[in-house]
A and B are shown apart, each in its own frame.
Chain A
């Protein structure tokens, strides 16, 4: 059996990579893909933590994370489609006037 520490490290790596991509990519679809990578990291982390405690609550929480990820993908992509219709481009920089 693999040690859960390794799972947690994989979770941390996936989360950091997703955060980097979300900050630096300009295509809105790829930005949302990067949030999905962050969800993957959290999910792996939850499974590792659940193993550590020796019960299934981590996996149950992982299922709810899956539900939230599906909801986020649906709503986020609907918003992306709407924004694409407004501007005709997927570039997040085209919305920079929304900065405070």
Chain B
């Protein structure tokens, strides 16, 4: 019974992964177990490789697939567990790049390239910019993460969060491996990868034309909203001395 065996594999890998993330999460007052974290991460990723090995069978390039998957999953674990936000953002770039490579590898070229441009190029720059903008100075302590802020040093309810996330993950993975997917259409999937960008463009401009327009409108609305939300009220120098009557030009700036 191969599929039942795979379900147990999925549960086992999920359990080790949950332990790994739990011990990796920073927690104030708990001794840091870096060796245990690395060991559990290695066990989890190894189990994942074996799982992919069974799933992919004898397909030719399963090593490339497994390596990209491991890079992505390992990067995601580090994004969740790293105590410094800048490093979390950098590990997220690793996740994005390996995911994009995976997607390009299975034939979705346009989406993969768009992923690199939009995520690694635009969104990550915004994140790093905000991190730099809100960098705070901290008092010196004797801890190992001396320059790390206290709220980055202690996770909030790690046990329940890890349980919730990994039960969700294991359930979904078990359902996926239990189902018999042998009826999938390999021929048309292979045909799909040829002229991927051309076909995708045709589809976007004919079948999904209204959706594309709506996406453009949504982006513009989001831009206006972001400007309105983040606009800074500029205090005038005379505000501190006395509060003048409102409405005088040049004295009080009322944004709305």
Count of A-B contacts with CB under 8 A?
275
Which residue of A53, A64, A70 contacts B185 across the interface (Cβ within 8 Å)?
Answer: A53
When distances are taken between beta carbons in the complex, the residues of chain A under 8 Å from B37 are: none
* One of A19, A27, A44, A57 near B168 (C-beta < 8 A): A19
In the complex, are the beta carbons of B176 and A33 less than 8 A apart?
A: no
Q: Are A4 and B154 in contact (CB under 8 A)?
A: no
Residue contact A17 to B126, C-beta cutoff 8 Å:
no
Given contacts A7-B106, A16-B165, contact A33 B222 (CB under 8 A): no
A65 CB → nearest B CB, Å: 10
Q: Is the interface of B mostly helix, strand, loop or mixed?
A: helix
| Interface size classification for chain B | 35 or more
Task: Tell me the minimal C-beta distance from A86 to chain B in angstroms.
Answer: 12
Give A17's nearest chain B residue, CB to CB: B76
Compute how far the CA of A62 lies from the CA of B241 in the bound complex, rounded to whole angstroms: 55
Contact of B92 among A36, A66, A85 (CB under 8 A): A36
Which of A's residues lie within 8 Å of B, judged by CB? 1-10, 12-21, 23-27, 29-30, 32-34, 36-37, 40, 43-44, 47-48, 50-57, 59-60, 62-64, 66-71, 73-75, 77-82, 84-85, 89-93
